[in-house]
Chains A and B, each alone.
Chain A
Amino acid sequence: MDALILTENVLQALAAGILVGSVYGLMCVGLGLIYGVMRVINFAQGDFLMLGMYAALYLFTGLGLGAALGPYLGPAVATVLGAAILYVLGVVLHQTLLRRVTGIRVAGTESEGHYPQLILTLGISLILANAGLIVFGSMPQSIRTPLSASAWEIGPLVGQNLSVFLNKARSIAFLVSVVVALALFLFIARTRLGKTLRAAADNPEAATYMGIDVDAAYRVAFAIGVALTAIAGGMVATYYPFQPYVGLEFVIIMYAGVVLGGFGSIGGAFWGGLTIGLVQQLSTLVLPVQLQNAAIFVVFLVIVLVRPEGLFGRSAERI
C-alpha cells in the first residue's frame, strides 16, 4: 500500500513537472533566442514575462474573453494578443535603446559590448518592475478560471487505486507552450527569415556582405524572444498568482534553464527549462515547498560542475 502511494506521488510529481517544465521551457526559449542571435544577456526578460502576465490578464477581463470564448480558449487568446503587444514593445525597445549597444557596431570592441548591454537591460528591468508597481499595484492577481482548481484524471491505472491528476490550467499551458515552441523551431530551421536570423547570429559582418540588415534581424529576434516569454507568462498567470516583482523569480529559472541547455542553443533551452520544472516538482516529494528553488540551484550547480557545456549543449553549435 505504501509502495502504491509512493508510486502515485512520484508519477504525480513527474506529470506536474512535465506540465510546468514545458512552460518554463518556452520562457527559456525566448531568452535563449535573444542570447543565441544577439549575444545579449537580457536581465529584463523576467519583466517581459511579468508584462505578458498583466497584458493577458487585462485583455482577458477587459475584453470579456472569458465570457466570449470560455475558460479553455479565453486565456490562451488573451495571452497571444498580449504577446503581440509585447512584440511591439520589443521592437520599440530595440529600435530606441538596444540597437545602440548591439550588432556590428560593437563587434570587435572591448567586451563585445557586454558591459553596456548588462547595464542597459538591468536598467530596463528596474524601470519595468517599478513602473509595474505604480500602474498595477502590489496586490497579487491571477487570470481566474475554474480550470486552475480542477483536474483531469488519468486512470485508474493499476487496479482501482492509482490515478494521476492533471491540473486543467497547467495542461492547457503545457499544450500552448509545446505548440508555440515547436512552431518556433520550425520557423528557425526551415523558413528563409529563420535562416537569415541564424546567419546574422553566426557572422554579422558576412551577413551584411550578403545584404542582410543585421540590425533588422536582431530586432526581429529580440521581439520574438520577448513575445515567446510573454506567452509563457500569460500561461503561468492562469495557475499562479503574480505581482510586479514576479519577474525576478522567473528570470532565475530562465537563466538556470538556458545555462543547463547550453547557452545559445534554442533546443537546449527548452530541455533545460523542462529539467528545471521536473527538478522543482520532484523535489516536493522530499523537501518542503519553500526549498523548491534551493533544490533547483543544487541540481543546477551539480550539472554545471559536471558538464560545463550544459546538459544539452554541443560546443560547436550556436542556435
Chain B
Amino acid sequence: MLSVERLCVAYGGLRALIDVSVEVGAGQFAAIVGPNGAGKTTLFKSISGIVAPVSGAIRFDGQDLLAIAPAARAQLGIAHVPEGRQVFKALSVLENLEMGAHPLRARALWARNLEQIFALFPVLAQRRSQLAGTLSGGEQQMLAIGRGLASAPRLLMLDEPSMGLAPTIVDQIFERIRGIHREAGIAVLLVEQRVAEALESCDRGYVLESGRVVLEGTHDTLIRDERVKRAYLGM
C-alpha cells in the first residue's frame, strides 16, 4: 500500500535520510525504531509532504505521492498523528475531531467514526467541549489519535505516541493501537523509541540509525536478532 523507495532527504547540507526504503502492505503493522535524530520524524514529514525529498519515490496504492499536494494526501486515506501530539490547542475536543474529519470521504462517516472514537477513548466523550490545550498529555495523545481516526484512514502513521507519558498510559495507548489495527483492519506505521513494545506488535520492523535503515525484517527475525537484543532490548 505504502512504499518508500530509496528516499534521500537533506536539511541544508545535513543529510537526514539516505536511501531509505520502507514497505507497508494493506492492513499490515509496521514499526520503525531508532535513536534520537535517526530521521524517523523526517520520514513521516516526507510522506505527508511537509519536507521535500532530494531524491527517491513515495507511492501510495501505486500513485506517486510526491506529485500530490501535501494537503491533498489526507484525502487518499493517510492519517498522520504527529510527534508531540500537535492538537489544535484553542479548539475544543469535538472541534479537533471534526477537523480530523476534513476529507470529504470522512465527513460521510462522521457519526459512525465519532461513536467508535468515543468508545475507544471514553475520556474524550466526557471532555468533548473542553479546549484541547487544557487536556493532560495522555488525553492529548488520545485526542491526536482520535483525530487521526476521524479521517477514516487506511493507513495510520503514529510518531512516538508514548512520548512523555506514564507507563500505565503508554500500555493503554499501545493496546488501543493494536485494537485499531486488529479490529478496523487499518494499516499502521508506528515510530517508537520504546523498541520492545513496538517490535512486539509489528508484522515488520525497521531499525533506522543516522538516516539509514540498518536492519529490517519480520517480527520474529528482529526480536531474535543479537544486535537488536543488545542495543535496544537490553538483553
Contact = CB atoms under 8 A, between A and B. Distances in A.
Interface of A: 104, 192, 195-196, 198-199, 201-203, 205-214, 316-319
Contacts of A208: 48-50, 70-71
A180 B121 CA distance: 40
Interface in B64-93: 69-75, 79-80, 82, 86-91
Name the prevailing secondary structure of the A interface residues: helix
B98 interface: yes
B interface, size bucket = 20 to 34
Contact of B100 (A203, A205, A210, A318): A210
A193 B196 CA distance: 43
Contact of B86 (A205, A211, A212): A205
28 contacts: A192-B98, A195-B95, A195-B99, A196-B99, A198-B90, A198-B95, A199-B95, A202-B90, A203-B88, A203-B89, A205-B82, A205-B86, A206-B82, A208-B70, A209-B74, A209-B82, A210-B74, A210-B100, A210-B147, A211-B71, A211-B74, A212-B71, A212-B99, A212-B102, A213-B69, A214-B71, A316-B90, A316-B131
A214 B71 CA distance: 8
B102 A196 contact: yes
Given A195-B91, A316-B131, 13 more contacts: A195-B98, A198-B95, A199-B95, A202-B90, A203-B86, A208-B49, A208-B50, A208-B70, A209-B74, A209-B82, A211-B103, A212-B99, A316-B134
A211 B88 contact: no
A102 to B, nearest CB: 15
Interface of B: 48-50, 69-75, 79-80, 82, 86-91, 95, 98-100, 102-103, 131, 133-134, 147, 151
A207 to B, nearest CB: 7
A199 B74 contact: no
Among A196, A203, A206, A319: residue with most chain B CB under 10 A:
A206
